Structure 1
Amino acid sequence: MELAETCGKGTLSAGEPSTKRSITSIYEDEEVVGFEKDAEIIMKKLIRGTKERDVISIYGMPGLGKTTLARKVYNNPSIVNYFDVKAWCAVSQTYNRRTLLVEIFKQATNDEIKIKEDDDVADMLRRVLIGKRYLIVLDDIWDVEAWEDLGICFPQGEYGSRVMVTTRIEQVAKHLQHHSDPHSLSFLTSEKSWKLLEKKVFQGESCSPDLLEAGLQVAQHCKGLPLVVVLVAGFIAKMGREASLWLEVANDLSSLALGEQSMKVIQSSYDHLEDPLKHCLLYMGLFPEDHKIPVDDLLKLWMAEEFVLNSETENMEEASRNCLSDLHNRSLVMVSGMRINRDVEYCSLHDVVREFCLRKLTEDKYMQLTVPYNPYQHLCSTESRLCIYIHDDLVEQLDHYEYQLDKIPMLNFKETNSLEFIAHPKLNIWNNLYSNPLDLVVKLRFVRALHLMDVTLPDSWATAIQSLTELRYLALYVRQFELEWISHLHDLQTLHLKSSERIHLNAATLSEMARLRHVNVDSFSLVWEDNEEGSFEECSTSMLESMKTFGHCEIDLYNMNARFLWRLPNLEELGLHVEDVPEFPLFPIPEGHTRLHSLFLHIYLPNFFVSFGWERYFVFPSNLRHLNFSGCVLTEEMVLNIARLKKLESLTLQGGFPFGRSQSYFWDVTNVEFRTLKYLTLLTFQMVKWKVSEESFPMLEELSLDYSLYLKEIPPSFADMPTLRLIELSKCIQSLGVSAMNIKREIEENTGCDSLQVVIKGTTFVPFDVTLF
C-alpha cells in the first residue's frame, strides 16, 4: 500500500460552467458547508485506530446530512486509496438481505463474477473480503436486526477494515459500537447556515448588502437543518431579490417545529412549481425508498405519461431534461450517480421529500387532472385527463374486486367512466404477488407505460397486450419477439427489450412506426425481407424523423443497412456492433447526422490483418461529443479520424490496441491534437508504450485507465497539461500508479497547487511478459 497517501482535498471537478441548463454540476458543489470538522473526525476513525474491524456510526435526525457526510468521506481520494475494497448500499426501513448482499458483492468484485440464483452470496462475499482491508457503508439502518443480518458477512481480521453506518436512531448507533464512539451529527450554527444559504442562492457570488439582514434571518429560522437550508435556497433563488419577500419566508419558518418545518419547506417548494413539475415530482415518490432511478428511463416515462410541457418544440427529451434540472436546482431531487462524461445517470429522492410526495398523493387519493403535453396536439389544447396513479393499495383492491372499478372503495363510481391510469413506475415489485403481472395490466386498458424488464414473461405476452393501444413506453424481458406483434401501437415512443434469444427487427415494419423515438434492444440485428428494398425505397414514411436513440444493433455494413441509417436523420444516440469487414461507409453522408452526439461502436474484425484499408469506412459525423469505441484496432488513420471531431468531449477505448506502421501496441500521438477532449478512458486497451505531447490533449480533465496490464508508465508530459484534474487507475500494474503520483508531485512543485487527484482502485498487478508482443 505504498501509494496509500492523501492525494489532495476536495472531490471530482466537473469542468467549466456552462450556460446550458444542466444537472451535470452536482459534484461541483459536493464540498458541503458545515461538514469539514465532522469529515475530519470520521476520516481519522477510518484510517487510524484499531487494526481490528470497527464500526463507525453517524447518527442524527432526517435532514442533518448524514448520507451527505458519509458520501463526502467515502469519495475522498485518501479513503479511496487506503482501502482495498469499497462498497456502498442503502439499507432503509424495509430491505431484502440477498439483494443488498448481491449489491455489495458486485461492488467488491467490480461486477466481474456472475451470481446464479442458487449461489450462497453471503459465503461468496465473505471469501472475497477475507484478507483485505475493506470499507462497507450501510446507509440508513433502522434497527439492530439489519446489522445482525448483514454484519456476519463481513469477516473479522487485523487489516484495518471498517463498516460505516448511518442511522437516525441513537440507540441503534450505540448498539453497533465496537471500538469507536458513535458520531452525533449536530445542527448547523447560524453562521454556517447562512454560509450554506448564500452559497446555494448566489452560486459563489456575495449577497448584496440590502438582502443581508433578511438572508441572515432566513438562515437562522432554518434551525440548523442543512436539508431545510438547501430547500429554502432552492425556492428563494427563484423569487425576486427583495428583502420583504425573504422576510416573509423567515416569518413562516420561525413558527414551525423541526419535523413540521421540513414538510412545510417542501410544501413551499412544491407550491412554487409549475403543474408539469408537480406531476414529475409526485411520480418519483412511487419508486421504492432509496431507489437509484435511471435518468434515461425516468425521462421517457415522464414523456409517456404526458407530464412534460413541450412548448414551441417537439424535442420532448430536452423539455424532460429541463424539468429534472429544475427539480434538482430546487434541491428536491438528488443526483446519485454520474457517467464519466458528467451526464447524470441516476437520481433519487431524499427520504423526507419522498415522504412528502406520498403524503400528497394520499391526500389527493392518488387522483389528479392532467393536461396532456402531447406534441401531436395543438399547443393551446386545454383538454384534461382524470388520472389515478396505479399504486400498491390500488393493486390489492383491483385484485380483490376482480378489476371492477365501480366496486373499489377508493374510487368514486361517477368518475370511473372517464378515469385513466398512470402506470406504477416499478411495476415489477408486484412479482411477489402475481406470477404473471400481465393478468392485472391487461384490465387497465389505458395505461401508457409498461415496464416489466425484471421478470421473464410467458410467450403469451404478445396476445395479452393487444388491447393496450395507448402504450407509449414498453420495456419487456421476453424469450421471443417479432416487431409485427406490436406494430399496431402507433403511439409507441420507447421500445426497450431484453431477450434470451437474439432478436431480429424487420426494417420495413420498423419504418411504419413513425412515432418511435427510442429503440434499445440488448442484442438484435436488422433484417430485410425478400423484395423489400423496392418497397422501402418507395415508402414515403420510411424517414423515421422522430427516432432519437437506436441500439444496440448487430449489422454488416452493406448497402441496405447503410441506407437505413441514413433514414434516421435526427438520431442523437446510436449503438452498433459491426460484424465483419465493411463494404460501405458507416455513415455514407456524415454531414447528414448533425444531431448525433453519442456513438457506441463495437467492431469485430476477425479478418483485420488481411483487410487493410477498412478504416476509410469510419468517418464520423462531425458533431459527436461522446465516442465509445470497443474492439478497435486503432490504426493511425483511425486516430486522425477521431481527432478531426471538433466537439468530442469524451472518448472511451475498450478492448483494442494501437496498430502503427512501425510498431504495434505503441500509441504515439505526439503530433495529434484532440482539441476538445475532456475525458479519456482506456478500458482493457492494450499497449506497451504511450507517447504524448502536452499539446495532444489541451483540454483534458480526467484520465482513467482500467485493466492496463502492460503499460508501465503514464507519459510524464501529462504534468504539463494545466486542465488535468483527475487520474483514476483501476487494477493496473503498480508502476503505473507510481508514475501517476510522480506527475502529481511535479504539478505541486511547479505550480504550488494541489490541483490533481490520483485515485487508485483495486489490486495492482505485476506486468505480464511483454516480449509476447
Structure 2
Amino acid sequence: MVDAVVSFVVQRVGEYLKNEAVFLRGVRGEVESVKKELEWMNCFIKDAEEKQVDSPLIKQWVSDIREIAYDFEDVLDEFTLQVHDKDEEGESSERKHGLFTAIKKSVAKSSRKGREKLTTYNIGKKIESLKKGLNDVSQRCELYGLRDINIKRDEDCHAFRRMKQLRKTTSFSFEEKVVGYEDETNKLLAKLLADEPRRYVISIWGTGGLGKTTLAGKLYKSSAIKHKFDCCAWVSVSQHFNIEDLLLRIIKSFGFPAKKLKGMSEEDLERYVHESLQGRSYLVVIDDVWHKEAWASLKRAFPDNENGSRVIITTRIKDVAERSDERTYVHELRFLKPDESWQLFCDKAFWNLSIDEGLERLGREMVEKCRGLPLAIVVLGGLLSTKKPQEWNLVRDNIWQNLSNDSIQITYLLALSFNDLPYKLKLCFLYLSHFPEDYAIDTDKLIRLWLAEGYIPHNEEIMEDVARNYLNELINRSLIQKEKTWLGKVVTCRIHDLLRDLSIQKATELNFIHSYDEIRRSSTHSSMLSCRRQAIYSGMNGIAWLQQCNPLLRSLLIFFLKQEGAMMSQLVSNLCTTFRFLRVLEFQHYRNTQSSWCLPKDIDKLIHLKYLGLRDTLIYSIPESILNLSNLETLDLNDDPFCCLYLPTEICKLKNLRHLIGELRGQYLRIDNMTNLQTLISVQDDTWTQTNHESLVNLRKLHLCLNRESQRNFTFDSIAKLKSIQILWVDLSKNHFFSTLQPLSHCPHLRDLSLCGKIEKLPEDMPVLLPNIEHLSLQSSELVDDPMPVLEKMLNLTVLALRHGCYCGKKMVCRANSFPRVEILTIETLYLEEWQVEEGALPVLTGLELINHRQQFQLPERLKSVPRLG
C-alpha cells in the first residue's frame, strides 16, 4: 500500500525536475539521486507488505520510507515557495523605487542570484539530510535481515496461509436459505436450462459481499440442475491461482478417478479432464475470478459437445465478466431491495429475540445504512442477536466499527479489492475518504480534484479522459456505485459506507487523509499534525480545529460550513497565509443566505493552488491577485444566477486554467488564447462576441447566455470554430431566436445540445446536420408544427427533452418504431390534447417526465407503465 504513496512522490519529483529545471540547477543531481533511491526501495515495498503483513519490522520499515517520501515532496514545494517569495520581494522593491528601477536593475539581478544561491544551499542541506535518512533505512534493512523477504516462499508465511484459508472458506460457504434474489435466480436458471446446445458462460459480477457465491450456490444445488447435467463441479480461483492445482480440484469435484494424477503435467491434466467430459453435459462453477486469464487457461480442458453444457463465473470485476468467453451472458447482481434486506436481517437478528416497536425502529435504521449489501446485513443481524435490547443503541452509534470488529470476513473480503488495485487507482480510491457518509459525489468535481492532486499522469492523452477511465475502472471493480448517469456517463456516484470505512482505515494507516466530524466530535486518527490532507464536516469547531493542522497541508475540503460573509473572507485570508502549500481548497454546501463576500487578495500566496472551489458560497468578487496563480487549473465559483460575480478582466493570464465555472454575467472577460480551457460556464454577450473563438482549441463544454439586442438573431458561426466542442447550452432571452443550425454540422464531436430560444421551424435536414446528438433539449422554441417527424430521424438520441414553451400544438405523434434508443423523455403537456404513440415506438424508454400536466390530458396506454420522473 505504501508503494502507492512512494510511486506518487517519485512521479511528482519527475515533474519538478522537468518543470523547475532552472531553479533546481544547483541541486539537480541530489534530487535525482534521492528519486532513484526511492525508486529502488519501492521495488521491495509491495513484496514486503504482501509477504510479511504481520511483521512489525516490515511495518516500521515501510513507514519510515513513506515519511521520507512525504518529507522529500515537502522540501521541493518549500523550495518553490522560497524562490517565489524572494522574486516577489525583489519585484516589490523595484516598484517601490520607481525612477531608480533602471539604475538599480543590475544590482537587483546580482542580489537575486545571491538569494537563489542561499535558497539552493538550504534545499541542499535538507536533501542531504533526507539522503542520510534513506541510508539509515537501508542499513536497518540489512541489519534486521529484511532483504531476505524476497527469497521467502509464500507458503512459508503464516499470514499468507491464514488469508488463503480464509479465502477458501468464504468462497464456498453459501447460505442454505437464500433471502431475496428470486427474480435473479429464475432468470439465471432459465439461462442454464435453455435449449441452446452450445456451451456458453454465465458471468455474475458485483461488489464483494453482495452474494455472488451464494446465488451461484443456490443455482448449483437446484434439483433442476441435477436433472439437466450429467456432472457438476465447483472450484474457487481467487487472486493467486495455479492451473495444475485448479485442474486437480476440478477433477476431484467432478468425482472422476484421481489415481496416478499426481505429478502429471498441466497439459496431461487438461487432456484427462477433456477426455472424461466427452459425451457428457456438465456444469462447472468457477468462483471468485480476478483475472481473465483464469478461464482462458482452463477452457481448453472443457469440450463443447453441443449438448447444453454451461459454465458459471463469479467475479467482482466487470471487465473479467464481459471478456470471459466469446459466448457470455453477463449478469450484474443488484443490491437487495428494502423488503429483502429487512427479511434477511430479521432471519438473523430475531431468532432468539422478540421484536418490539423500539427494536424494529433501531433495526430498520441500521439496515438502511447497510444499503442492501447482504454481507453487512448478515453480520449486523448476527451481532445484534447476541446483544441485549438496551445495547442496540451502542451498536447503531458505531455501526461500521462494530461490524468490522465482529467479522474478519467483512474487512478481509473488501480489502481484497483494494489490494488488487494498481497504485494510481489506490490513491484515487483513498481520496474518497474525504467525503461524508451517504454523500452523492459529483464525478466531474471528483475528476478535477484528482487532477489537482497530481494523480493523473501528464502524457499525450487528455488528463480528464484518463481520470474518467480511472473512475470507470473503480466502478467496474465494484468499489464505487453508480448513482446518476447521463449520456452513458456517470454524473454522480456513491461509495458504500463499508467501503468508505475501508478507505478511511487505509488512508489512516498511510497518514494520507485526516477528517474532523463535528457532529460525531471525532477524527479519523490522532497523527493529524503530520497529515497533508484534511476534510472537515460542518461547523465552527471544525474551523477552530484547523489551528492544529499541519502547515504543510496540501488539500482542504470543508463541507456544510455556515458563516457570515465577512467572517468567510477573514477565514480564507487566514488559510492563505497559514497553509501556503495548498493545491486544493474547496468549500462544499456552504449554507448562508444573509451576506455575500469578496475573496481576499491574499489568495495569491497559494502559488501551488490548482483547484479553488467556491460554489454555493455567495462570493461576488475575485481580486486581481488571483491572476498570479499560474498553476490554477479549476476555478469553480458561485452558480447563483441572482448573485452577480465579478472576475478580473484579464482572466486569460491564467494560462493553465482548464475549467472556469460560475455565473459570469454582466461583465467582459478576456478569454482569448486560453488553449487549455475545456469548460466555460457561463458567459454572456460581450465576452463571447469579442473572443477569438478559434483560439479555444480544447473547449469541450460551453454555456452561453445571450441577452443583447444585437444577438436577437443568433447564428452558430462562432460555435463552428470550436473543433473540440462536445456539450453546448445556449440560452437566449425573450424575443430572441435561433437562425440556421447548419454551422453546427462542423462540430463532429457535439453530442449534447440544449437550446433555449425561439426556433421558427425545425429544419428537415436536422438529423443530417446533427447525426451524433445523443441528448437534445429544446425550451421556449414556440414550435407550431409537431417536432416528432423530424426528431425521430435522429437515431442516436438517448435523452430528449421538450420543455416549457417548446411546442404549442395540440397533437403529437410518435410513429411506429420511432426513437429506437431514447431512454429518457421529458414532455410539456400544457397545450397538448392528443399524443399518439404507435406500435414499436420508444421501445427502450425507461423514464418519462411530464411538465405542466393537465388533468384532462390522457397519457397513451403504452406509456402508463413507464416510471415517472420529477
Q: By how many angstroms is 1:277 displaced?
A: 1.1
CA contact (8 A) 2:633 2:656 kept: yes
What are the residue-to-residue correspondences of 1:288-299 with 2, within 5 Å?
A: 288-299=436-447
Report the equivalent of 1:328. 475
1:151-176 deviations in Å (ceiling 9; x for gaps): xxxxxxxxxxxxxx999856999679
Q: For residues 402 and 696 of structure 1, what CA distance do their matches in structure 2 show?
A: 58
Q: Which has the higher contact order (CA 8 A, sep 6+)?
A: 1
Q: For residues 641 and 462 of structure 1, what CA distance do their matches in structure 2 show?
A: 52
Instruction: Report the AA paired with residue 633 of structure 2.
Output: Q
Instruction: Report the AA paired with residue 597 of structure 2.
Output: D
Q: For residues 489 and 687 of structure 2, what CA distance do their matches in structure 1 show?
A: 40
SS in 2 for 1:300: helix
SS in 1 for 2:807: strand
Mapped pair 1:596 → 2:757? no
Q: For residues 637 and 453 of structure 1, what CA distance do their matches in structure 2 show?
A: 43
* Structure 1 residues 565 and 637: alpha-carbon distance in aligned structure 2, compared to 1, 3 A threshold: farther
Q: By how many angstroms is 1:54 displaced?
A: 10
* Structure 1 residues 438 and 281: alpha-carbon distance in aligned structure 2, compared to 1, 3 A threshold: same
Report the equivalent of 1:524. 665
Bigger Cα displacement from structure 2, 462-471 vs 280-289: 462-471
Instruction: Report the AA paired with residue 285 of structure 1.
Output: S
Report the equivalent of 1:769. none
Instruction: Report the AA paired with residue 545 of structure 1.
Output: V
1:372-421 deviations in Å (ceiling 9; x for gaps): xxxxxxxxxxxxxx98213459x999988997xxxx7x86xxxx8xx561
Task: Select 2:733's aligned residue among 566, 579, 584.
Answer: 579
Report the equivalent of 2:128. none
Report the equivalent of 2:415. 267
CA contact (8 A) 2:623 2:648 kept: no
Q: For residues 360 and 432 of structure 1, what CA distance do their matches in structure 2 show?
A: 36
Q: By how many angstroms is 1:494 displaced?
A: 3.0
SS in 2 for 1:301: helix
SS in 2 for 1:495: strand
Instruction: Report the AA paired with residue 574 of structure 1.
Output: L
Q: For residues 764 and 533 of structure 2, what CA distance do their matches in structure 1 show?
A: 53
CA contact (8 A) 1:60 1:66 kept: no
1:477-528 deviations in Å (ceiling 9; x for gaps): 3342469664444444333322474547899856665544334335736758
Instruction: Report the AA paired with residue 550 of structure 1.
Output: L
Q: By how many angstroms is 1:450 displaced?
A: 2.6
Task: Select 1:67's aligned residue among 355, 368, 371.
Answer: 371
CA contact (8 A) 1:558 1:582 kept: yes
* Structure 1 residues 467 and 65: alpha-carbon distance in aligned structure 2, compared to 1, 3 A threshold: closer
What are the residue-to-residue correspondences of 1:559-570 with 2, within 5 Å?
A: 562-570=716-724
Q: By how many angstroms is 1:285 displaced?
A: 0.5
Task: Select 1:545's aligned residue among 697, 704, 721.
Answer: 697
Q: For residues 364 and 797 of structure 2, what CA distance do their matches in structure 1 show?
A: 45
CA RMSD of aligned residues (A): 5.8
Report the equivalent of 1:474. 612
* Structure 1 residues 387 and 575: alpha-carbon distance in aligned structure 2, compared to 1, 3 A threshold: farther
Q: For residues 507 and 400 of structure 1, what CA distance do their matches in structure 2 show?
A: 32
Q: For residues 505 and 711 of structure 1, what CA distance do their matches in structure 2 show?
A: 48
Q: For residues 628 and 540 of structure 1, what CA distance do their matches in structure 2 show?
A: 27
CA contact (8 A) 2:817 2:843 kept: no
Mapped pair 1:493 → 2:633? yes
CA contact (8 A) 2:485 2:492 kept: no
Instruction: Report the AA paired with residue 625 of structure 1.
Output: E
* Structure 1 residues 617 and 475: alpha-carbon distance in aligned structure 2, compared to 1, 3 A threshold: farther
Q: For residues 505 and 370 of structure 2, what CA distance do their matches in structure 1 show?
A: 23
* Structure 1 residues 473 and 683: alpha-carbon distance in aligned structure 2, compared to 1, 3 A threshold: farther
SS in 2 for 1:285: helix
Q: For residues 443 and 818 of structure 2, what CA distance do their matches in structure 1 show?
A: 33
Q: By how many angstroms is 1:268 displaced?
A: 3.1
Task: Select 1:461's aligned residue among 599, 604, 609.
Answer: 599
Report the equivalent of 1:390. 534
Instruction: Report the AA paired with residue 422 of structure 2.
Output: E
Mapped pair 1:300 → 2:431? no
* Structure 1 residues 561 and 401: alpha-carbon distance in aligned structure 2, compared to 1, 3 A threshold: same
Q: For residues 761 and 583 of structure 1, what CA distance do their matches in structure 2 show?
A: 29
CA contact (8 A) 2:611 2:635 kept: yes
Instruction: Report the AA paired with residue 423 of structure 1.
Output: L
Structure 2 unmatched ranges of 5 or more: 1-181, 188-202, 204-316, 323-329, 347-356, 515-529, 673-683
Task: Select 1:421's aligned residue among 554, 558, 572.
Answer: 554
Q: For residues 623 and 839 of structure 2, what CA distance do their matches in structure 1 show?
A: 51
Report the equivalent of 1:349. 495
Q: By how many angstroms is 1:272 displaced?
A: 1.9
Instruction: Report the AA paired with residue 334 of structure 1.
Output: Q
Instruction: Report the AA paired with residue 799 of structure 2.
Output: S
Report the equivalent of 1:451. 586
Bigger Cα displacement from structure 2, 557-566 vs 261-270: 557-566
CA contact (8 A) 2:701 2:725 kept: yes
What are the residue-to-residue correspondences of 1:220-369 with 2, within 5 Å?
A: 259-309=407-457, 311-314=459-462, 316-335=463-482, 337-339=483-485, 343-366=489-512
CA contact (8 A) 2:786 2:811 kept: no
CA contact (8 A) 1:566 1:587 kept: no
SS in 1 for 2:724: coil
Larger Rg: 2
1:230-277 deviations in Å (ceiling 9; x for gaps): xxxxxxxxxxxxxxxxxxxxxxxxxx9853333233333222212221
Mapped pair 1:628 → 2:777? yes
Q: For residues 257 and 535 of structure 1, what CA distance do their matches in structure 2 show?
A: 59
Q: For residues 639 and 34 of structure 1, what CA distance do their matches in structure 2 show?
A: 38
Q: For residues 706 and 598 of structure 2, what CA distance do their matches in structure 1 show?
A: 27
SS in 2 for 1:327: helix
Q: By how many angstroms is 1:354 displaced?
A: 2.0
CA contact (8 A) 1:59 1:66 kept: no
CA contact (8 A) 1:483 1:510 kept: no
Instruction: Report the AA paired with residue 421 of structure 1.
Output: R
Q: By how many angstroms is 1:461 displaced?
A: 0.8
Q: By how many angstroms is 1:689 displaced?
A: 0.9
Q: For residues 643 and 477 of structure 2, what CA distance do their matches in structure 1 show?
A: 44
SS in 2 for 1:713: coil
Report the equivalent of 1:233. none
Q: For residues 339 and 534 of structure 1, what CA distance do their matches in structure 2 show?
A: 34
SS in 2 for 1:633: coil
Q: For residues 621 and 715 of structure 2, what CA distance do their matches in structure 1 show?
A: 21
Report the equivalent of 1:697. 842
SS in 1 for 2:413: helix
Q: For residues 614 and 500 of structure 1, what CA distance do their matches in structure 2 show?
A: 30
CA contact (8 A) 1:566 1:588 kept: no
Residue identity over aligned pairs, in percent, reads: 19
Q: By how many angstroms is 1:319 displaced?
A: 1.7
SS in 1 for 2:695: coil
* Structure 1 residues 627 and 676: alpha-carbon distance in aligned structure 2, compared to 1, 3 A threshold: same
Q: For residues 630 and 166 of structure 1, what CA distance do their matches in structure 2 show?
A: 51
Q: For residues 270 and 326 of structure 1, what CA distance do their matches in structure 2 show?
A: 12
SS in 2 for 1:325: helix
CA contact (8 A) 2:719 2:744 kept: no
What are the residue-to-residue correspondences of 1:39-58 with 2, within 5 Å?
A: 57=361
Q: For residues 722 and 331 of structure 2, what CA distance do their matches in structure 1 show?
A: 36
Structure 1 unmatched ranges of 5 or more: 1-7, 44-52, 71-138, 141-164, 185-224, 229-255, 369-385, 719-726, 728-739, 741-756, 763-773
